[in-house]
Structure 1
Amino acid sequence: MPTESRTLTNEWQAFWLAVGFLTRIPMPVRINYSQQLMNQCSLYFPMVGLLLGMLYAGLFTLLSLAWSPLICVLLVLCFHLLITGAFHEDGLADSVDALGGGYTVEKRLEIMKDSRIGTYGTVALVMALALKAALLLDTSNIWLALLVVPCISRITPLLLMAFMPYVTDPEKSKSKPVAESFSRKRLLASCLFTALVALVFSLWLPGLWLAALTAIITIALLWGWYLQRQLGGYTGDTLGASVVFCELVLLLGI
């Protein structure tokens, strides 16, 4: 196979691998799984976020023909949890449980691996979902917020992976293959794509680009600093939490 054709095939597979990694959407193509392909797929996290945003915005528009905005937003959030398997929300709950209940790095990592949810995680999860629904209802254009927020927020974990060490057991983690040998060039491409999305949709949602920049930098710096102090780096769960935090800060800005 020619080099150019092979490269396009690898990128196509990397995109669908990213879809399969972040969602429960069935992959329509056969994936020739490899460590390198798993590393490459992280480039497409914001693009997968935009795909999810299109589904959320379309579903909200359809539901709004029959129900009030509150009911529509709650139904879209239910759909989000279903189609993503509550992937990032699970990371939020585990992270808060671990960071709130552990007094050493070892204990925090041990709690984070526990599949059971504790008081801290439950409270964080309920408040995050409630705040997300309230902020969406308070925006001037709900469907547009549903469209762009999932895309922009998924650049934050890439920044954490690029500039922080990985600190959990590589044999028991789903995110380790994505984080290993992270390409800064691919990070730049993801950032440019996210910036383009923010700039284009700022035409309909004034100030979006500034809210996006503020949310990404704020969460990357503050959450990254806190993780460095508490864990010495990041874990897969803390990456998921960063997405939820970035979504909330971005919605606050919008």
Structure 2
Amino acid sequence: MKQIISREWQAFWLAVGFLSRIPMLVRIDYSDRLMNQSAVYFPLVGLLLGGIYAGLYLALAHVWSPLVCLVLVTGFHLWITGAFHEDGLADSVDALGGGYSLEARLRIMKDSRIGTYGTVALIVALALKVALLADSRVVWLALLLSPMVARLAPLLIMAFLPYVTDPDKSKSKPVADDFSRTRLLYAAAFTAVAAALLAGFAVGILLWSVVATAGVGAAWGLYLQKQLGGYTGDTLGASVVFAELVLLLGLASGA
């Protein structure tokens, strides 16, 4: 039992280090298996980040207007995560918009340069995110919930689609390789309980949480299946951005 707890503790901190710049505070006995196990903690890492964003917003709100605070929090988010998911969005949109064959799409996705499609997608996504947060009735709750809920979407895709990128050139393969559907259920259960408690069991918020995860996972997953035959690390990052925007659309509508 002690070994299991120690391994899961390391897996959590490995997920923290993978998704953010937050220093890992424990010694990690790294292995591909541990990296794969760490994916179950993505929503928990999202909750940790959301707590930081909400706290930062509430602190800044004593000095600046809500809009200024949201832009500053968004800038902090891009720094603390290394724009990890936004980079995936830009690469995915460039590849799927500009590639006319599977080989071309995968090649474009690996290109470190950003194209017109990716640039436009980033601008629209970031502007829409700030606007939707500003329209949310309880901004701090939106900041707290959205990172957690959104990070369940890539786990859904990983559990049901094959990984298609060259494994020798991908840093995401240890996370994606044979991701267990049992661990997906654990992550989904945690996300559902945490969202219900934080949102006070508000039906509208819980409904939009389901739409943001299951809806985005299904729609984006089906599109990726058609275009790529599976998913890549970049497309997983894009799914986080899409899920977050869908959830914020619901919250901004009054859900």
Q: Compute the TM-score of the two structures, normalised by the length of structure 1.
A: 0.97
Q: Is the 8 A contact 2:156 2:214 kept in 1?
A: no
1:207 positional shift = 1.4
**1:227 equivalent in structure 2:** 224
Q: 1:32 & 1:240 partners in 2: Cα distance? A: 26
Structure 1, residues 24-47: CA drift from partner, whole Å, max 9, x if none?
111111100011111110110000
* Percent identity of equivalent pairs: 66
CA distance in 2, matches of 1:217, 1:185: 16
User: Where does residue 93 of structure 2 map in the other structure?
Assistant: 96
| Equivalent position of 1:137 in the other structure | 134
Aligned to 1:124: 121
Aligned residue among 235, 240, 245 for 1:238:
235
CA contact 2:15–2:45 (8 Å) conserved in 1: yes
Q: Normalising by the residue count of structure 2, what TM-score does the alignment of the two structures yield?
A: 0.97
Aligned AA for 1:237? D
Gap runs ≥5 in structure 2: none
Partner AA of 1:231 in structure 2: L
Please give the secondary structure, in 2, of the residue aligned with 1:76: helix
3-state SS in 2 of match to 1:174: coil
Q: 2 CA distance for matches of 1:204 and 1:136? A: 20
Q: Distance in 2 between matches of 1:231 and 1:47?
A: 29
Question: CA RMSD of the aligned region, Å?
Answer: 0.9
Aligned equivalents of 2:230 and 2:236: distance in 1?
Answer: 11
Give every structure 1 segment of 4 or more consecutive aligned residues whose post-TM-superposition deviation is greater than 2 Å. Answer: none
Letter in 2 for 1:54: G
- Out of 46, 50, 53, the position equivalent to 2:43 is 46
For the residues of structure 1 that align with 2:147 and 2:6, how far apart are their CA atoms? 26
Amino acid in structure 1 at the alignment position of 2:250: G
Number of residue pairs aligned between Structure 1 and Structure 2? 251
Contact 1:149/1:247 (CA < 8 Å) preserved in 2?
Answer: yes
In the TM superposition, what are the counterparts of 1:108-119 in structure 2 within 5 Å?
Answer: 108-119=105-116
* 180-189 vs 102-111, which moves further: 180-189
Which residue number in structure 1 is paired with residue 77 of structure 2? Answer: 80
CA contact (8 A) 2:90 2:122 kept: yes
Contact 1:201/1:208, CA 8 A, preserved across alignment = no
- Partner Cα separation in structure 1 for residue 186 and residue 212 of structure 2: 19
Letter in 2 for 1:67: W
1:214 aligns with 2:211: yes
